[in-house]
Structure 1
Amino acid sequence: MPAFPFFLVQDFLVLLQGLKENPFDQNMWEVQSDWYSPTRMNSSPNTQYEFPGDRFIPNRSLMDLDQAQSLLTNRTVPNRNSNFNEAYRQKLQDQLTLDSDGNPFKMLVFRGSPKSSRKPLRCVDEMRRSDEFDSNMIKPTQLRSLPKGESRVLDAPNMRNDFYMNIMDWGKNNVLAVALGLDLYLWNSETVNVRKLFHVNENDHPTSLAWSQDAKYLAVGYKGSKLQLWDAEASKLVRSLKGHNRRVATITWNGHTLTSGSRDRSIINHDVRARNNVTCHLRAHSQEVCGLKWSETGNLLASGGNENLLYIWESSRMNSSKYLYCFKDHCAAVKALAWCPYQSGVLASGGGTEDGCIKLWNTQMGTCINTIDTNSQVCGLEWNRHHKEILSGHGYSPREQIKNQLCLWRYPSMEKVGNLKRHTSRVLQLSQSPDGLTLVSAVADGTLRFWNIFGPPCADNSRLSALDSFLSNKTSPIR
């Protein structure tokens, strides 16, 4: 049984005793019943009550909730106490709002860090008003601009001018691997050293390569259907993987799974740890598989073929050989594939010469988000990880002024930011550095051209508002 406060029990006993002695005393009943009435409190403000309510649990009946709400919400009418005159109120206000020198101040003020605040703002409202004024005065400026030229150009003799091959990849170890004819070279971007990994005979040259995600192994596909794993650090062949019977044009990694696509029209998943490496064999394309790319999460695989089709596969259902979607919107071979790094399920694909379109796909809904007709062969696509942009590399075009160039597009509007027209031959492939700041293009004229095109813009400290500094909503850029 819950315990009642002692004074409430005592008060109730007194009331019962009074009724027992004089049960017909109506006045006493009215007085007793009016003890906790808000009306009595308002009508007799000087009356003192011995037990107006529990000391720790307030009595709701003693509260004038309507008046309290009015006082809290109505800011136009000040609450005046009739016991004080206007002179006293003015003196009290001056004491609370003016300092010793007569300057206005506030007792409770939210202030930012002295290092981040650029001017002595007094409160958040003043910061916000100042930011609105500054934003109206600042004219919009172009923070992103393309470089005027390459940051570095390397000679790449004997590079094969073949649209379907993928012979360059930049690993997380900051080493660029590139196949030049019968040789495979490794270029260290930190030490700028170049070394040859191996040399092959004329009958079987590299046609595709890809670094593993941890950059411990380099996978190399060949014209004669071989697929090898190399330890690049030790310059040692680790193992050979079988399964294809024609050239391996594209390969991609997903953890310990190496996926390869071939001219034999098949896609094979290899578990590089297992003796029997083939874990899945897919046959959906009717011509050569020339583009493969796993999503960032590793649950979806995109494959493009020379028959103009684009397939989306789920990793959990690949053993059943059932694809998730088949997109038929391209009008030429689909080689260029790139998954969006900041929006899950968005894929960019590029078509060959007869198509010349960049298409954005929502692989969760199976729909095409956007299509941009570039009027030029799309040979490579790379997303900018620092800005919402995507770069495309182009080759042949019926229009002379737009072929062999790099184009930067703003996502998701796909508005063109600009283009670079420094190539004398078509772009065969694109790859970017591990930090996402530098991009390299392999060109059919036998050169590797490096571009500082993806880096963040320079910090503009004058654009950092005092309110943002106070709230810490902005962070300094990487570079």
Structure 2
Amino acid sequence: MNEINYDNSLRRLEQDWYSPTRLLSNPVDYDFPGDRFIPNRSLMDLDQAHTLLTNRTNNILGKPKFNDEYRRKMEENLKLDVEGRPFRMLVFRGSPKSSRQSTRLIDEMRRSDEEIPLQTHDHRRHQKFRLKETRILDAPLLSDDYYSNVMDWGKSNLLAVVLGRKLYIWNDEVKNAQILMEVMREHDYPTSVAWSDDAKIVAVGCISSKLQLWDAETSKLVRDLQGHKSRVGCVAWNGHILTSGSKDKAIVNHDVRARNSVVSLTRVHRGEVCGVKWSSTGNVLASGGNDNLVYIWDFRKMSSRHHMHKFNEHNAAVKAIAWCPYKSDVLASGGGINDGCLKIWNTKKGTCISTTETGSQICGIQWNRHHKEILSGHGFGTTERGCKLCLWSYPSMARIGEPLHHANSSRVLHLTQSPDGLTVVSGGADETIRFWEIFAPSQNDSGNNTDLDNLLSLKASAVR
């Protein structure tokens, strides 16, 4: 009987310890103010409530309560992942590894790959590419002019090269050259060339302000384009749009399908337009000028002369510009002899990502499509890097290997690369054209794949 009363009293204690009736066990006269918006705490005996809460015994009978066991299970499931590792909720990362199941092996392999220093990668690349040219072609009368762009390698594997007043087409497969066109007018000669995207038409800009389209198969003139008043030093294709830059400070967009080809004429540069390049998306144009400026243009707004960004951090003319092949909003630009800086830009934000001082005039830039690297061709300079080809690791911009040379320390004025992105061609003031397999992977490159690459690659799996 006493035991039953004891259990009943415990149940009552558990039921009533939090009850408001216990707070009112001693009748008290309370005064209620008349304003209902002002809180009244006269009904609250906070001291007694605090005492009851802190003195409660959680395990009166010596057995765990259901709530305690439930709480323990919840904490165990919320704080630990499926493999028993501590789990943090709301981790500010892209995709927490702990949220994935059965990936510890891949995580460990990825971690080991990331621990490989960049210098080791650079050293491996240095061992892969050839330090000597694979072929040298004599190129008499090759332009020794910083402001000209007289070489372009088309998608049909034909190399267009201007020598004097003639435009030659070099066929790398059969190893021969043919004359496509010749400027007959005295004191006139081509100063820029560019293949169309379908590799059927060659655009040729001349010192006399002429801009012509030539059919590469028939060797016939397709049409003349008007719009400039002085030397056309750079041209670039974007589908059926041909963009040209001139010494008259103008950028002209031509629709080659239309009778009146001029779509827009923009004159914002305060000096000669030295370089024009379209991004891989075809929506954004970059232009460099003799006014030391780089402009970024939205094609849809060029007729209003409204530019997206203006970069003014170079201290010399900007001829060398090139878009990153694997990130469409990244641009590389190189300054002339009084600048010598290789700059990487974020054209979406309008900011400079990095600046590398090369100590010499930058005449050309080519991105490696197979590795994260940049090749720069240099002219006159104040350091030992003058008149050389330099390979840089991106984004660290550490130089890879030793620079490559033309004969007699001649400056490297022109750069272009093959359609497959493996071979780079340079044209120098020594009147030679040199082929470099600097971007080509080594023969045992497939054996250098990481364990993670082999695990995730379909090439490493047997397909039946």
- TM superposition score normalised by structure 1: 0.70
Contact 1:309 1:326 in 2 (8 A): yes
- State the distance in 1 between where 2:271 and 2:74 align: 76
Q: 2:124 aligns with which of 140, 143, 146?
A: 143
- Residues 97-146 of structure 1 deviation map (CA, whole Å, 9 limit, x = unaligned): xxxxxxxxxxxxxxxxxxxxxxxxxx987898899999999995732124
* 1:389 matched residue in structure 2: 373
Q: 1:189 aligns with which of 163, 168, 172?
A: 172
* 1:8 matched residue in structure 2: none
Q: For 1:348-427, list aligned pairs within 5 A.
A: 348-399=332-383, 401-423=384-406, 424=408, 425-427=410-412
Q: Is the alpha carbon distance of 1:236 and 1:367 closer, same or farther for their aligned partners in structure 2, counting shifts above 3 Å?
A: same
- State the distance in 1 between where 2:375 and 2:155 align: 20
2:139 paired with 1:156: yes
Contact 1:124 1:467 in 2 (8 A): no
CA RMSD of aligned residues (A): 3.1
Deviation at 1:247, TM superposition (A): 1.1
- State the distance in 2 between where 1:127 and 1:371 align: 36
Q: Is the alpha carbon distance of 1:255 and 1:467 closer, same or farther for their aligned partners in structure 2, counting shifts above 3 Å?
A: closer
- State the distance in 1 between where 2:388 and 2:424 align: 14
Could you say what secondary structure the match of 2:124 adopts?
coil
Contact 2:344 2:355 in 1 (8 A): yes
Q: Which amino acid aligns with 1:411?
A: Y
Could you say what secondary structure the match of 1:210 adopts?
strand
Deviation at 1:421, TM superposition (A): 3.3
Deviation at 1:147, TM superposition (A): 1.5
Q: 1:433 aligns with which of 418, 421, 430?
A: 418
* 1:95 matched residue in structure 2: none
* 2:151 matched residue in structure 1: 168
Deviation at 1:472, TM superposition (A): 3.4
Could you say what secondary structure the match of 2:405 adopts?
coil
Could you say what secondary structure the match of 2:381 adopts?
coil
Could you say what secondary structure the match of 2:300 adopts?
helix
- State the distance in 2 between where 1:308 and 1:127 align: 48
Could you say what secondary structure the match of 2:380 adopts?
coil
* 2:429 matched residue in structure 1: 444
Contact 1:468 1:474 in 2 (8 A): no
- TM superposition score normalised by structure 2: 0.72
Contact 1:405 1:419 in 2 (8 A): no
Q: Which amino acid aligns with 2:221?
A: L
Deviation at 1:469, TM superposition (A): 3.9
- Residues 173-218 of structure 1 deviation map (CA, whole Å, 9 limit, x = unaligned): 1000000001110001111121011222332100111001111100
2:186 paired with 1:209: no
- State the distance in 2 between where 1:284 and 1:131 align: 49
Contact 2:283 2:298 in 1 (8 A): yes
Q: Is the alpha carbon distance of 1:333 and 1:462 closer, same or farther for their aligned partners in structure 2, counting shifts above 3 Å?
A: closer
How many aligned residue pairs are there?
A: 366
- State the distance in 1 between where 2:109 and 2:285 align: 50
Q: Which amino acid aligns with 1:175?
A: L
Q: Is the alpha carbon distance of 1:260 and 1:127 closer, same or farther for their aligned partners in structure 2, counting shifts above 3 Å?
A: closer
Q: Is the alpha carbon distance of 1:372 and 1:473 closer, same or farther for their aligned partners in structure 2, counting shifts above 3 Å?
A: farther
* 2:205 matched residue in structure 1: 221
- State the distance in 1 between where 2:434 and 2:201 align: 25
Could you say what secondary structure the match of 1:316 adopts?
helix
Q: Is the alpha carbon distance of 1:71 and 1:233 closer, same or farther for their aligned partners in structure 2, counting shifts above 3 Å?
A: same
Task: State, as a whole percentage, how many aligned pairs show the same letter.
Answer: 54
- State the distance in 1 between where 2:305 and 2:403 align: 42
Contact 2:131 2:404 in 1 (8 A): no
Q: For 1:238-387, list aligned pairs within 5 A.
A: 238-387=222-371
Deviation at 1:310, TM superposition (A): 1.1
Deviation at 1:461, TM superposition (A): 6.1
Structure 1, unaligned stretches of length 5 or more? 1-63, 77-122
- State the distance in 2 between where 1:223 and 1:74 align: 70
